[in-house]
Amino acid sequence: MKKVALTGNMGSGKSLVTEIFQSMGIPVFQADVAGHEALNEPEIIRQLRKRWGSQVLHPYTNQPNRKTIATIVFNDEDELLFLNELIHPIVRQYFENWYLKYTDQPYVIHEAAILFESGFHTQFDKIIFVSAPSTLRIQRVMQRDGVEAEDIIARMNRQWPEEMKIPLADYIIKNDEQQPLIPQVVRIHELLSQK
């Protein structure tokens, strides 16, 4: 079984590509979802409170307030690094436990936004990168999240640019609304399904 990573910058359409792979029966691990779960680990909550105080927890549930945490980390590189160093090892462990359930599959997919930035890309047999023009990515995120372009650009600037990631990928999917997605995904699926 191959371990395949799927990544792309914010607004590239990773989720849509993921859904196409899932519709073909391929198991997909979503690192963002796992990261949200990891935030609720008791040790993580303890570390968050120690670093930022109880302001980052919901007052009644004592669960992390992701919105407050996002405000802190997206405005401070050191705080983002702190959070990533807390969460990434747990997400990696979740993945290691998860993929063992699918050893009968030709491959599984690990979908992650900051695959290269976290250094985790070296752990995979193949990497799929979803590419889209930056103007289109900004439009998509504005529509999806209802946020201003300036905020999106600030968040995008925290990711490596596409030009750095494309040479590191084995397969590129162009999600530019010009080329159909499904044939691109099917072609990659056929290649990955070969022994």
pLDDT of residue 34: 94
User: In this structure, what DSSP letter does residue 160 have?
Assistant: P
Residue 46 is predicted with a pLDDT of 94
Q: Are residues 135 and 188 in the same domain?
A: yes
Considering the domain architecture, whether residues 56 and 147 belong to the same structural domain is answered as no
Determine the Cα–Cα distance for residues 186 and 191; give it in Å rounded to an integer. 9
In terms of residue numbers, what domain contains 178?
1-27+105-195
Question: For residues 30 and 18, is the Cβ–Cβ distance under 8 A?
Answer: yes
Structural domain tally of the chain? 2
The CATH number linked to 122 is 3.40.50.300
Same domain? For 193 and 122 the reply is yes
**In a shared domain, residues 125 and 195:** yes
CA distance 44 to 191: 39
pLDDT at 147: 77
User: Looking at the structure, do residues 23 and 11 belong to the same domain, yes or no?
Assistant: yes
Q: CA 171 to CA 167: how far, in whole Å?
A: 10
Tokens 């399904």 sit at which residue?
Answer: 193
Domain boundary among 45, 66, 101: 101
Percent of the chain that is helix, strand, coil (3-state, to 5): 55, 15, 30
Residue 71: its pLDDT value, please? 86
If asked whether residues 110 and 127 sit together in one domain, one would say yes
Could you list the mean pLDDT of each consecutive 10-residue stretch along the chain, which spans 195 residues?
93 92 96 92 94 91 89 86 92 94 95 88 95 87 81 79 93 93 96 88
How does DSSP classify residue 57? B
Are 65 and 78 contained in the same domain? yes
What backbone torsions phi and psi does residue 173 show, to the nearest 5 degrees?
-110, 120
Domain edge (last residue) among 68, 101, 134: 101
Q: Are residues 76 and 20 in the same domain?
A: no
Is 43 found in the same domain as 7? no
Classified as helix, coil or strand, 26 is coil
pLDDT at residue 148 in the model: 81
Same domain for 121 and 161: yes
124 and 169 inside one domain: yes
Q: Could you tell me which residues come within 8 angstroms of residue 62 by beta carbon, excluding any fewer than 6 positions away?
A: 45
Cβ atoms of 120 and 92 closer than 8 Å: yes
Please say which residue of 81, 101, 121 terminates a domain. Answer: 101
- Answer yes or no: do 123 and 179 share one domain: yes
Is the CB of residue 164 less than 8 Å from the CB of residue 133? Answer: no
